[in-house]
Structure 1
Amino acid sequence: MNLIAKGFKFPSTIAFDEDTLSDTYGKLVAEPLERGYGTTIGNSLRRLLLSSIEGAAITHIRIPGVLHEFQTIKGVKEDMVDIVLNLKKLRFRLQGDKKRVAKINVTGPKDVTGADIECEANLEVLTPEQHIATVDDGAVFQAELIVKKGFGYSPSEANKEKNQPIDLISVDALFNPIKRVNMQVEKARVGRSTDYDRLVMEIWTDGSITPQKAVSRASELLIEHFNLFVLDENDEDVEEEEGNGNGSEVLEGDFNRNLLKSVEELELSVRSYNCLKNANISTVADLVQKTEHEMLKTKNFGRKSLDEIKGILNKMGLDFGMEIDESLLEQYRAEGGK
């Protein structure tokens, strides 16, 4: 079902405000949206941004001579409770999925901050100004910090590892890189009608991910989940479309040379091309032998991609659900498409 042809309004503008955009802040505007869709889309994105974006945080701490969070350290003003609280405020950018180790080794007098942390490769401290501890003259402060990736909030008990060394202290970890999300739905004008939505979202991050990437990731998660709800028995529109047009055509005498083309030649959007590539569809001949229903069951392949590809195929005199004379196809392939 082509919703655009049926008068369904899709956004003509989805963009971040370039004047205020940074690595830690972005203001996104999407308009026009059908009435009610601003709230539906905005709430969905906001919930995922605040709960399901991967980030990095300290999960374990090791300090020589310290076995639990309630000890004090000789020559250090703060006790372990305060030090742990300060360490948990540190934000990191971690490349890859492996855990990394960061270390602190300073001699007082010293105001220890995030800038004093030595990181392994692929790990970066994003808050070098964050205060950690105050070390007296001549005192030594050492610490080993284990940084991992995760989602949302993970309590210290959940972070404990099997056979964990006694001197390794598990701490609560807040992985989410999204600090705050504001959402507002306003009225949008299309012609004389103001019965449309304008979605405005403000996203603040810790700098480990940009607002653009965060919104893209949240959108991908929604698409992956919504694709699961494209159920066979409810796809009546697809079945109706497949029953018309070229769905039952068998190519025999008049060979359409477009069938020999690679899908790379179709100038598809990146999302549509990647979906075909992941489904091992490499040629137009492979593509037209699929039904629309089969295509919609392909991972991350939605109605927008279906309409895009269907339009391109129709211009070439082709359609989904076609039957191909394989012997004729092989013959033309052998002749180089001549």
Structure 2
Amino acid sequence: MALTQQELIELPRVEIEEDKGSYAKVTISPLMVGFGITLGNSLRRVLLSSLPGAAITRVRVEGLLHEFSTIPHVKEDAIEFLLNLKQVRIRPLALRPGTIILDVQGREGEVTAADLLTPEHLQIVNPQQHLLTIDSSEARIYAEMKVEIGRGFRPAGQGDNLPIGFMAIDAVFSPVRKVGYQVQPRRSPQGTQYDSLVLEVWTDGSIEAVEAIRKAAEILRDHMTAVAQVGKPPVPVISRGIGAGLLLTEEQRNMPIGELGLSIRTYNALRRTGISTVGELLELTEDEILSLRNFGPKSYEEVRQRLEEFGILPAAGVERQPPERLVEGEALEEEMAAATEVEVPQATSEEAAPSPEAAALEGIDPRLAKLWEVKARLEEEKKEE
């Protein structure tokens, strides 16, 4: 028996009614009767609890032993100061922790979030947020704040043991402040009944409301994709980053990055960030990869080429210079920088450094042999000068 027009499920259209940065209002329709509540409630729950954000989790104030202390020459006590810090909203440009410093001396008056010193990957969204009031120019306030990445809300009582001198504060990671939705019944000119979902989202400014809706939908999609594979052989899908949309085998996804044959400098930069598998690497965007410490454009090109050589990433259709080929300038500097990160056996003047091919036969790491070649060439250039 064929489905009637009213029983057919039509994919909805999404229209942005208002977009004011931290506030957005969108309409999703037409939806099959009942899907308005199903979709609206699901999006609301994900928006409020599942989006990642940054927040201050612990604070150390120079001269203070606990949160019940008073701060010399400051109107607010320690608890008020911590509550004000809790209201500071932070936009993470990269999903990694950081440290914020407050160092004020030789002045009176109000201190706001604009006085906070932040690393490059963290931005203060509300610099006008009041922190404390100094009533003497003799005061000196130095505070160190740890920022972490998380989801939802974490009370101060949870987490690891605090280092000596640090005070914990409640962490509000969620960048979404409020979500509201309405389901309005509609009828088409043909008499078909359907739902129209009106969704409103307010954020703290660390993320735009439209982007928050998109990310929440992506989280739902990824989970529904996994459910849709029930009874089928699992096919890992990369949902974001440079590998978005790739279908990988479990072996490819869990492949250690050490098997890619990366240079020592590039490998160490990835490992220090906690990236150990190809799957974790592919889920990072180009901007997130380039923001890693000691990771420049050449290292990124090296990673892409290795992934293409292993058939994990599709070829970009342009020729790339192999990272092993040494050129003047940046390439040579990166190879020499890598040499400082590992212990390289010194070759005497009587014996020449082995070639990579000979090193392989002798059981020596070819990368160390490559470093020998670089150092030998530098010494020859110095002699010629």
User: Would you say 1:13 and 2:9 are equivalent positions?
Assistant: no
- Per the alignment, residue 278 of structure 1 pairs with 247
> Which residue in the other structure is 1:24 paired with?
22
Q: Give TM-score, length-normalised by structure 1.
A: 0.65
> For the Cα contact (< 8 Å) 1:159–1:171, is it kept in 2?
no
How far is 1:278 from its partner? 2.8
Question: Counting strand residues as a fraction of each chain, which structure ranks higher?
Answer: 1
- Name the residue aligned to 1:101: 99
**Letter aligned with residue 128 of structure 2:** E
- The residue identity in structure 2 corresponding to 1:155 is P
Does the C-alpha gap of structure 1 residues 52 and 127 become closer, same or farther in structure 2, counting only changes over 3 Å? same
Residue matched to 1:67: 65
Identity of aligned residues (%): 36
Residues 4 and 230 of structure 1: CA distance in aligned 2, closer, same or farther (over 3 Å):
farther
Equivalent residues in 2 for 1:244-283, closer than 5 Å: 274-275=244-245, 277-279=246-248
Offset, 1:279: 3.6
Cα separation, partners in 2 of 1:5 and 1:197, compared to 1, 3 Å: closer
Structure 2 residue aligned with 1:159:
159
Residue 144 of structure 1 aligns to a residue in which SS? strand
* Contact 2:5/2:192 (<8 A) preserved: no
Supply the distance in 1 between the matched residues of 2:244 and 2:125 (Cα, whole angstroms): 33
Over 3 Å counting, the alpha-carbon distance change for 1:125 and 1:4 in structure 2 is: farther
Corresponding position of 2:114? 115
Q: Distance in 2 between matches of 1:64 and 1:106?
A: 12
Deviation at 1:224, TM superposition (A): 2.2
Structure 2 CA distance for aligned equivalents of residues 181 and 128 of structure 1:
24
AA in 1 matched with 2:36: G
Deviation string, structure 1 residues 298-332 (Cα, Å, up to 9, x no partner): xxxxxxxxxxxxxxxxxxxxxxxxxxxxxxxxxxx
The CA distance in 1 between the partners of 2:37 and 2:170, in whole Å, is: 33
**Contact map agreement 1:150 1:175 (CA 8 A) in 2:** yes
Residues of 1 paired with 2:3 and 2:58: CA distance? Answer: 52
**Deviation sequence 1:98-145 (CA, Å, 0-9, x none):** 211111111331201111111111111001111110011211222111
Q: CA shift at 1:274, angstroms?
A: 4.6
Alpha-carbon distance in structure 1 between the residues aligned to 2:114 and 2:144: 15
Contact 1:177 1:205 in 2 (8 A): yes
Contact kept, 8 Å, 2:55 with 2:149, in 1: the verdict is yes
Q: State TM-score, norm by structure 2.
A: 0.57
**Structure 1, residues 226-272: CA drift from partner, whole Å, max 9, x if none?**
23333656x9xxxxxxxxxxxxxxxxxxxxxxxxxxxxxxxxxx99x
Q: 1:167 to 1:4 in 2, by over 3 A?
A: farther
What is aligned with 1:215? 213
In structure 2, the partner of 1:322 is none
2:80 corresponds to which residue? 82
Match 2:167 to one of 169, 172, 176: 169
Alignment partners' CA distance in 2, 1:21 and 1:3: 38
Greater RCO, CA 8 A, separation 6+ = 1
For 1:111, give the aligned amino acid: E
Q: For residue 159 of structure 1, give the secondary structure of its aligned residue in structure 2.
A: coil
Q: For 1:128 and 1:29, locate their aligned partners in 2 and report how far apart those are by CA, in whole Å.
A: 33
Number of positions where the alignment pairs a residue of Structure 1 with one of Structure 2:
238
In structure 2, C-alpha distance between the alignment counterparts of 1:125 and 1:231, rounded to whole Å: 42
In 1: Cα distance, 2:230 partner to 2:117 partner: 55
Where does structure 2 lack aligned partners over 5 or more consecutive residues?
233-239, 250-385
Once the two structures are overlaid, the 10-residue window that deviates more, 126-135 or 5-14, is: 5-14
The question of whether the paired residues in 1 share the 8 Å contact of 2:6 and 2:192 is answered with no
Q: Which amino acid letter does the alignment assign opposite residue 206 of structure 1? A: D
The aligned residue for residue 133 of structure 2 is 134
Paired amino acid for 1:157: G
Check 1:169–1:227 CA distance in 2 against 1; reply closer, same or farther (3 A cut).
same
Distance in 1 of aligned mates of 2:202 and 2:190:
35
The aligned residue for residue 144 of structure 1 is 144
Q: Hey, what's the Cα distance between the residues in 1 that align with 2:222 and 2:3?
A: 21
Matched-pair contact (CA < 8 Å) for 1:159–1:170:
no
Which residue is equivalent to 1:228? 226
Q: Tell me which moved more, 195-204 or 4-13.
A: 4-13
Superimposed CA distance per residue, residues 54-79 of structure 1 (whole angstroms, 9 cap, x where no aligned partner)? 11100110110112111101100000
Find the aligned partners of 2:220 and 2:70 in 1 and give their Cα distance.
47
Q: Give the C-alpha shift of residue 171 in structure 1.
A: 1.4
State the SS of the aligned residue for 1:158: coil
Residues of 2 paired with 1:150 and 1:52: CA distance?
Answer: 9
**Separation (CA, whole Å) in 2 of partners of 1:4 and 1:168:** 65
Residues 194/6 of structure 1: CA separation in 2 closer, same or farther (3 Å cut): closer
Task: Tell me the equivalent position of 1:191.
Answer: 189
Q: What does residue 125 of structure 1 align with?
A: 124
TM-superposed deviation, 1:192:
3.4
Computed over aligned residues only, the root mean square deviation of the Cα atoms, in angstroms, reads 2.6
Counterpart CA distance in 2 for 1:85 and 1:3 is: 58
Work out whether residues 6 and 193 of structure 2, in 8 Å CA contact, stay in contact via their aligned partners in 1.
no
C-alpha distance in 1 between matches for 2:54 and 2:35: 33
